[in-house]
Amino acid sequence: MKKTGAQILWESLVREGVTCVFGYPGGAILPAYDAMLDYPIRHILVRHEQGATHMADGYARATGQVGVAIATSGPGATNMVTGIATAMMDSVPIVCITGQVGSKAIGSDAFQETDITGITLPVTKHNYLVTRPEDVARVVREAFYVARSGRPGPVLIDITKDCQQSSCEFVWPDAPKLRGYRPSHTPSSREVEQALDLIHSAKRPIILAGRGIQLSNAREAVLKFAEQANVPIATTLLGLGAIPASHPLNLGMMGMHGEAWVNTAIQEADLLLAFGMRFDDRVTGNVKTYAPNAKKIHIDIDPAELNKNVRVDVGLIGDLRETLEGLLPRIEACDRTDWVSYISMLKGDSAVRDIQNLPDNGHLYAAHVINDLWRETRDRETIVVTDVGQHQMWEAQYYKHEEPRSLITSGGLGTMGFALPAAIGAKVARPDAEVWVVVGDGGFQMTMCELATIAQEGIDINIAIINNGFLGMVRQWQEFFYERRYAATPLVNPDFCKLTESFGLKAMRVETRGDVVPAVREARRHQGTVLIDFRVEQEDSVYPMVPAGNDLHNMIRRPSAIVETGADA
């Protein structure tokens, strides 16, 4: 039976299991939108195409399935670039579909023409320009395969308007075969033997747990490995939740704003086991002084990651879960009690500096808000979606994630404006989960137009704005490294409550510590989205902090004056 390219597009998406797409229509994609009405796919109308990509991203991170965003040509397509780059940096499987001007108009600077495949080439795993309806089904089949296989990532399909309008016989292809694409790898036996020798001879090993654990569903294998070999686990930002926060071997987050004892232990380790992480500069600090006495084993699905940032002694290329399951029968029990006890001792100094343990001085700190939010929401399945900045780091430090995919955040690209639309995607994907947005007052204003999407689509999430009246993390850097010269970081904000209420949504403002818990409880009882504007201390900082490019053990700790008095920085 003959179908148009637009019909074939939706037929193919249905066959890939797609039930929801996030998008914004326009002239070059109108044939596809017209055909969409005849297919059982929910369309979420966004207010900006960047939001569509973040929603598809949040959908994918919350489920592990491929998220789909759709837009028209020209500015519609270029508005997607930030979201595509965000997904690329964090290995998120999304497929972005853009309309393109007619084939004969390509290269003529036609209205709303842009070479989107050229623009997105560096930030996609693969992309396509489709000009014939005969190619649509094959390309969709390949795009989903590429997006979800191996190291996941974004794929873009650009379809000309005449392709959408033309007809051909619809044929759903067999499993895709792409020449030169090898998503599966298996480590060599020689490398496995080398790794086992290093593991069994190590006295002070540390596992570095990254997002790859969640991508390969390797949680149980990592826990068995750690317990069998008695090896403590440090996590990256994107690795939070991969291992239960309450597990006795879980040390917490490492790196620039990681716990001091975690970074110290890494610097004193004699073996690092990097599981599905990529030695990001926020994790290592100065690579020349990074874990100077440690041998290093790196397991990753992407061969390009091995020895890219840090030279390793053994690199095992392969799926993390499958590789660990191959190693487990040969992992011998080891007594590393002294090493584990030593790390526990390191925690003591950090505990007395923790702002949670200081007397209440009447000020509302962001850490209090996050800690109370965690205590109030841990009774059910909760997903927290954060933006980027100080609140992101406080969330990572004070919200104790027990389950995979319970924290969604932009780690690699650090995209402000990510949280609100990504949370919409997460809620659409997992409607039974409670979803909280934790966002700064700066980042929220980048995509707050999506409040209209929430209102129109009836999305039920809660939003916690950590409002300090600054671009907080930039201000902190200005305080530490630019003599408190606050250039372009103070913010004059709108009334977030009135703004939210103008969309018919509920809003509250909290200015004291005692009002945090009642507000969270009221938001949870309310049917529908609630925004809480938490007015926190303006010049509070995230501690500890490893200055960019500095040695990992050279941390800025919470000042002694604050330790003694609890006064402001």
Q: What is the DSSP string of 460-506?
A: --EEEEEE-SB-HHHHHHHHHHSTT--TT-B-----HHHHHHHTT-E
Residue type at position 104: K
271-275 vs 205-209, strand pairing mode = parallel
Phi/psi of residue 438, each to 5°? Answer: -115, 115
Q: Given 2, 104, 111, 193, which residue is catalytic?
A: 111
What is the token pair recorded at 534?
Answer: 């938490």
486 CB burial (10 A radius; 0-12, 13-18, 19+): middle
CA 423, 429, 435, 436: dihedral to nearest 10 degrees?
-10
Phi/psi of residue 127, each to 5°? Answer: -145, 165
Instruction: Answer yes or no: are the C-beta atoms of 369 and 509 closer than 8 Å.
Output: no
pLDDT for 415 equals: 98
Question: Is 177 tagged catalytic?
Answer: no
Question: Is 161 tagged catalytic?
Answer: yes
Q: Given 55, 446, 473, 555, which residue is catalytic?
A: 473
167-169 vs 2-4, strand pairing mode = antiparallel
Q: How many CA atoms lie within 13 A of 261 on its CB side?
A: 21
Q: Give CA separation, 523 vs 92, 370, 373, 449, 508, in Å.
A: 30, 15, 11, 21, 9
Local mean pLDDT, 10-residue blocks, the chain (569 residues):
96 98 98 98 98 98 98 98 98 98 97 98 98 98 97 98 98 90 92 97 97 97 97 98 96 95 96 97 96 97 96 98 97 92 85 75 92 96 97 97 97 98 98 98 98 98 98 97 97 98 98 96 98 96 94 84 43
| Nearest CA among 406, 457, 402, 462 for reference residue 428 | 457
Q: Given 7, 22, 49, 545, which residue is catalytic?
A: 49
Strand, coil or helix: 250: strand
Question: Is 446 tagged catalytic?
Answer: no
Q: Give CA separation, 466 vs 437, 439, 445, 497, in Å.
A: 10, 6, 12, 13
334 CB burial (10 A radius; 0-12, 13-18, 19+): middle
Q: What is the C-alpha to C-alpha distance for residues 360 and 391, in angstroms, rounded to an integer?
A: 20
The crossing angle, in degrees rounded to 10, of helices 81-89 and 49-63 is 20
What is the token pair recorded at 57?
Answer: 């991203």
Phi/psi of residue 343, each to 5°? Answer: -65, -40
Residue 424 DSSP one-character state? H
What is the token pair recorded at 468?
Answer: 């300090």
Strand, coil or helix: 464: strand
In 10 A of CB 320, how many CB atoms?
25
pLDDT for 12 equals: 98
- Beta-bridged to residue 297, according to DSSP, are 273, 314
Question: Is 112 tagged catalytic?
Answer: yes
Q: Given 22, 50, 80, 161, which residue is catalytic?
A: 161
Q: What is the C-alpha to C-alpha distance for residues 362 and 139, in angstroms, rounded to an integer?
A: 60
Contacts of 281 (CB under 8 A, 6+ apart): 287, 309, 548, 549
- Beta-bridged to residue 253, according to DSSP, are 235
Instruction: Answer yes or no: are the C-beta atoms of 55 and 45 closer than 8 Å.
Output: no
Q: Given 16, 65, 112, 403, which residue is catalytic?
A: 112
Q: Give CA separation, 153 vs 61, 387, 558, in Å.
A: 11, 20, 38
In 10 A of CB 487, how many CB atoms?
9
Is the dihedral angle over the CA atoms 101, 106, 108, 112 positive or is it negative? positive
What is the token pair recorded at 41?
Answer: 């796919």
Report pTM. Answer: 0.96
| Nearest CA among 209, 200, 250, 253 for reference residue 229 | 200
- Side by side, the strands of the sheet bearing 233-235 are 250-253, 233-235, 205-209, 271-275, 295-300, 314-317
Question: Is 555 tagged catalytic?
Answer: no
